[in-house]
Every structure is written in structure tokens, then in C-alpha cells.
Structure 1
Amino acid sequence: SQVVRPHELTYKARSKDSQSYRKQPAVGPSTAQARYNDPFYQLNLDPLSFATNPLVLSNFISEMGKIYGRSATGLTIKSQRKLGKAIRRAKMMGIIPNLSKPTDSWMFDTRKPRA
């Protein structure tokens, strides 16, 4: 049996506890860090031009086919936006699977296409 004291029920005492458990929002890196880490920015490449390259796009997709956020990729805001568009385009074109990460055997299927 636990005893509750009256001062523990005040607004001031209750609000301190709720603030100490707050988690930092998962935002991406700062602009300077993103420019340093972003290969698309450093090499002046457009991520949309990689919409037909599943090897590049698979590095930014989870096992379930979800696009990683900027906090995980470390890209600039512009590159992340264009990369997301390229991945969604590739999914719509059937270049990468919708609900999973592309595997090597899936990308390099050597069977003959159906006539």
C-alpha cells in the first residue's frame, strides 16, 4: 500500500514528471552534417535519375519496403524528397517490390521473359 501525499497531486509536481520522459523527435541531421554525409549532394547527382537502379534504391528501403527517414539516411532535405519520389516511381514501374526489400536474386532474374 502506497501513501499519496497532498503535494504530489499539485500541478507543479505532476508536470515535472511528464516532461522528464519526453523523447527527442526523430528529425534528420543539421544542414551542414547532411551536406557532408549526402553522396547525392557531394557528387551533384539527382536521386530521381536512379529510379531505374534497384541496387542504389535498396540501400534506403527497410526489409518491409518502407522508405527510411532522414534521421536514418542522413541525406539533405532536397535529396531525401527526391529519393522518396524515385523509390515510389520504381515501385510503380515494378523495378522494386512494393512490400519487401529487393534481393539479389530478385534483381538479377536470369529466366527468360514470357512471350
Structure 2
Amino acid sequence: MSLRANRVGEQLKKELGEIIGRKIKDPRIGFVTVTDVQVTGDLQQATVYISVLGDEEQRENTLKGLAKAKGFIRSEIGNRIRLRKTPEIAFEFDESIDYGNRIETLLTKIHNEEKQSGNDKEE
């Protein structure tokens, strides 16, 4: 990925966080964090990675709400960032956060089990 695409991605991430957090009033959209934005080298496509607080239903509703608001989001981006053409936006869940949480849970479980077996030996 080019340096320019990286810079545009970072700018999009900042602006999208603000637009989604403050401008969109769709009740389906829960608490969203924009974790990353990957922009293609030609700046035509942007994949926006999000994490959503809540259960699976909340996540799906948020994705539907964001898909519905895509036109509005693109026009807001167009007003805020000076680009010849505003990139097409696709929203995806950032699975790395769930993956990290799962690893954290497993490590805690292992740690607690080791502590338990350590206590059993002392008795």
C-alpha cells in the first residue's frame, strides 16, 4: 500500500469515527469504534473495519444501519476530505479484537487453573 493510501486511510478513520459517532442518528447503530481503514492504491475503495459493543444481533443491526447510511457517510467524507473521487466504502467487523479477547480469556483460564493446581500441591 502506498504512503498516500495510508495517509488517506488514517484521515478517513478519524473522520468516520466522528461522522458515525455524532452525525448518524439511526437507532440500529450501536456503539461503534472504527479500528482501521484500508484504502486501495488507486484510492477508489476503502474497507472500514469496525468493532461494535453488544451481542451478535446488535452487531448485525449496526452493519445494516451503516449500509443504509453509506451514501450520507460518503457525502460527508467528500465534504471533509479533498479527494478527486470519494472512495467506495465497505464496512467489515474487525475480527482481530474478538480473537484477542478469546486469547486473553484462554490465558486467564490457564493461569487460574495453574494457580489452583499449585494450591492443591501445597496442602
TM range (shorter): under 0.3
> Which structure's residues are more often strand, by fraction?
2
The structure richer in helix per residue is 2
Work out which of the two has the higher radius of gyration on C-alpha atoms and give 1 or 2. Answer: 1
> Scaled by the length of structure 2, what TM-score is found?
0.26
Query: Structure 1 length normalisation: TM-score?
Result: 0.28
